[in-house]
């Protein structure tokens, strides 16, 4: 019969005294600072010992709950084990060293043993309780009970009278070995994630694993016929990972008795998961998340100006071209300023390709390759300079050049020189394919006409005298 003693660092002295007292009574107490051997894996050994113990003594004080630590993990594990036992069984025994409040709701529901104000009386009460529980008819059968070391003589104050002289049970007899200290038929259900005890035998788990594997192969044979159907997402085929995930979990954690667990903070709370659930879930989710969809994808390339994505400077004008390893595709820019491309091979997904805009008077603002993805892609353009300049000559009806004539396109203005020649720079925000040019000179009638900057041709203006 192993008695696990859980304690916080502040309560180590009390735990050591309790360990020594139980040891002197011929019992088999276990505490980490005394019984852990050099080279042993601390956390794994503690968890295993708790599962194999007959009783779990939680030494509690106000200092125990002032800080988080290993003792809290040990208590949680012990309480989880307690849930697997009938209500009449005793496993966790709270041992208070002072008048502390117990914040654990499940622990608070258990009757405590108090080592204050008189620790000797509290110890006697604990030993008496262990004695009665060990000799209770529902606790173990008569032939397995043997000698009760609690009734042997002890030098401790208030020692109990000797009741029998049989040898004490061998040290290390634990809960998960054969449950020798409990009546047959009342054994607690073992943890489903424990490698020592499982609700089914390894052979049954092996059969379950085989059945899940066969189901997965049946689904595979069905999906093979649908593999060439372009209307079926290839991710649908990963539904067969559900039976295969169950196959892995049943074989590794049921038949092979493997074990894995995780405990940590997740999204502001505590998460504790065991191996079978992890391997099954990761097998299924991994198939959907890690394996890309093999179907072609669609995307739309929006062309915008310097003011941002909403600056649709090219509506129903020009084309967008993409180079797909020698396969150059071009689509017209629609009324919304975007060019729609459908059926792009999946091997170009998240790959860099060259995207260019073919529109009169504009060029790509940031030349280079763009990463393709489903949905929307934005490409910025800027005027290429062809729409930013107008030039020409101003003459009279007799062909003589006129100097000092004023010319304007909106707020852009210029004046003709001695030879009648003029140049006008159009700001980027005013640039477009056609413009209205005005000319005026004192003593002459005003002139107005449409010009096309992108043509690159000289504009000839003739002014008539008034």
Domain residues of the chain, as ranges?
A: 2-151, 202-290, 297-383, 389-463
Show the DSSP H helices in 67-118 as ranges.
70-82, 105-108
Q: Is 71 helix (H, G, I), strand (E, B) or coil?
A: helix
Please state, in angstroms and rounded to a whole number, the distance separating the CA atoms of residues 430 and 145: 101
Q: Is 265 helix (H, G, I), strand (E, B) or coil?
A: strand
Q: Is 200 helix (H, G, I), strand (E, B) or coil?
A: coil
Topology at the third CATH level for domain 297-383:
Immunoglobulin-like (2.60.40)
Shared fold status for 2-151 and 297-383: no
pLDDT at 87: 78
Per-residue tokens: 300:
């739309």
Per-residue tokens: 200:
């089914």
What Å distances lie between residue 115 and 18, 32, 102, 311, CA to CA?
A: 10, 21, 15, 79
Q: Is 424 helix (H, G, I), strand (E, B) or coil?
A: strand
What share of the chain has pLDDT > 90, as a percent?
35
Tokens 């072609």 sit at which residue? Answer: 296
CATH superfamily of 2-151: Toll/interleukin-1 receptor homology (TIR) domain (3.40.50.10140)
pLDDT at 208: 84
pLDDT at 230: 55
**Mean pLDDT calculated for residue range 152-159:** 40
Strands (E) in 245-374, as ranges, are: 261-266, 269-274, 297-304, 319-324, 327-332, 338-344, 352-358, 362-364, 369-371
Instruction: Give the tens place of pLDDT for each residue, 48-67.
Output: 999 999 999 999 998 877 66
Topology at the third CATH level for domain 389-463:
Immunoglobulin-like (2.60.40)
**Mean pLDDT calculated for residue range 386-412:** 93
What strand order describes the sheet that includes 362-364? 338-344, 297-304, 375-383, 362-364
pTM of the model: 0.36
**Quick check: 195 pLDDT over 70?**
no
**Quick check: 155 pLDDT over 50?**
no
Strand (E) or helix (H) holding 6: strand 2-6
If 0-12 CB within 10 Å is exposed, 13-18 middle and 19+ buried, where does residue 289 land?
A: exposed
What share of the chain has pLDDT > 70, as a percent?
72
């Amino acid at each position: 019969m192993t008695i696990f003693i859980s304690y916080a660092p502040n309560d180590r002295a009390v735990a050591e005294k309790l360990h020594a007292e139980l040891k002197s009574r011929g019992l088999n107490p276990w505490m980490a600072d005394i019984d852990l051997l050099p080279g042993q894996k601390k956390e794994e050994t503690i968890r295993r010992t708790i599962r194999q113990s007959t009783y779990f003594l939680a030494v509690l004080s106000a200092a125990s709950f002032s800080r988080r630590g290993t003792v809290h993990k040990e208590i949680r594990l012990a309480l989880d084990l307690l849930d697997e036992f009938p209500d009449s069984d005793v496993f966790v025994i709270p041992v208070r060293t002072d008048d502390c409040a117990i914040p654990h709701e499940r622990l608070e529901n258990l009757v405590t043993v108090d080592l204050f104000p008189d620790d000797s009386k509290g110890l006697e009460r604990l030993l008496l309780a262990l004695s009665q529980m060990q000799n209770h008819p529902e606790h173990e059968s008569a032939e397995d009970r043997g000698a009760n070391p609690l009734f042997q003589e002890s030098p401790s104050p208030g020692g109990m009278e000797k009741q029998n002289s049989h040898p004490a049970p061998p040290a290390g007899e634990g809960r998960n070995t054969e449950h020798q200290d409990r009546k047959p038929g009342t054994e607690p259900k073992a943890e489903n994630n424990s490698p020592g005890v499982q609700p089914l035998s390894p052979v049954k788990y092996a059969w379950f694993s085989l059945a899940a594997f066969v189901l997965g192969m049946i689904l595979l044979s069905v999906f093979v016929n649908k593999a060439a159907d372009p209307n079926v997402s290839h991710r649908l085929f990963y539904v067969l990972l559900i039976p295969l995930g169950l196959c892995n979990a049943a074989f590794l954690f049921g038949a092979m008795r493997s074990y894995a667990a995780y405990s940590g903070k997740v999204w502001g709370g505590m998460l504790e998961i065991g191996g079978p659930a992890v391997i099954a879930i990761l097998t299924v989710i991994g198939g959907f998340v890690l394996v890309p969809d093999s179907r072609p994808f669609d995307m739309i390339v929006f062309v915008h100006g310097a003011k941002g994505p909403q600056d649709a400077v090219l509506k129903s004008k020009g084309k967008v071209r993409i180079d797909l390893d020698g396969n150059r595709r071009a689509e017209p820019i629609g009324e919304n300023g975007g060019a729609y491309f459908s059926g792009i091979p999946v091997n170009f997904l998240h790959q860099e390709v060259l995207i260019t805009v073919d529109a009169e008077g504009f060029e790509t603002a940031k030349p280079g390759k763009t990463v393709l993805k489903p949905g929307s892609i934005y490409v910025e353009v800027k005027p290429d300079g062809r729409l930013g300049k107008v030039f020409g000559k101003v003459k009279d009806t007799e062909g003589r050049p006129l100097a000092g004539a004023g010319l304007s396109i909106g707020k852009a203005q210029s004046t003709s020189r001695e030879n009648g020649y003029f140049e006008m720079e159009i700001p980027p925000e005013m640039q477009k394919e056609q413009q209205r040019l005005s000319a005026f000179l004192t003593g002459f009638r005003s002139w107005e006409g449409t010009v096309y900057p992108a043509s690159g041709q000289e504009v000839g203006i003739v002014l008539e005298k008034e």
